[in-house]
Amino acid sequence: MNQNQNMNQYYQQQYPTPPAKTNDRGKTGFILGLISVILLFPFFNPFMLWIVWIIAIIGLVYSIKGLRVAPRGFAVAGLVLSAFPFVFHVIYLLFL
């Protein structure tokens, strides 16, 4: 009987799992990069381009800061998405 009581106490002690690590800077950079890519195509005019560039620069800053913290998935995706408007604009100007 004593052994069953010890077993019950062992199984009843459950430790809470630690919270999953998140990278808020990486997520912010990803969201801003996604917004800049979405706004780039339908409104390709000079005024909207400045807004897209500002959003993309802020997204680049957050993504670069997010690369220093694990997990880095959203930060890398945000870096790619935030850099896309600049690359697209340079290619557009070269072949205009």
Higher pLDDT, 47 or 44: 47
Query: Residue 77 domain-assigned?
Result: yes
- pLDDT given at position 52: 92
User: What's the rounded Cα separation, in Å, for the pair 40 and 44?
Assistant: 6
Model confidence pLDDT, tens digit, residues 55-87 = 999 999 999 999 999 899 999 999 999 999 999
Query: What is the chain's length?
Result: 96
Provide the domain limits for residue 45: 22-94
Q: Is 6 domain-assigned?
A: no
- Side-chain-facing half-sphere of 28: CA atoms under 13 Å: 15
pLDDT the model gives residue 4: 57
Judge whether 36 lies within some domain.
yes
Q: Rounded to whole angstroms, what are the CA distances from 25 to 14, 30, 44, 75, 83? A: 32, 9, 28, 7, 16
Portion of the chain with pLDDT greater than 90, in percent: 56
Identify whether 28 is part of a domain. yes
The reported pTM is: 0.78
Hey, CA dihedral for 27, 32, 37, 38, is it positive or negative?
Answer: positive
Residue 39 inside a domain? The answer is yes
Q: How many domains does the chain have?
A: 1
Within a domain: 5:
no
User: Residue 89 CA to chain centroid, in angstroms?
Assistant: 22
| Percent share of the chain, pLDDT over 70 | 83
Per the domain annotation, does 74 fall within a domain?
yes
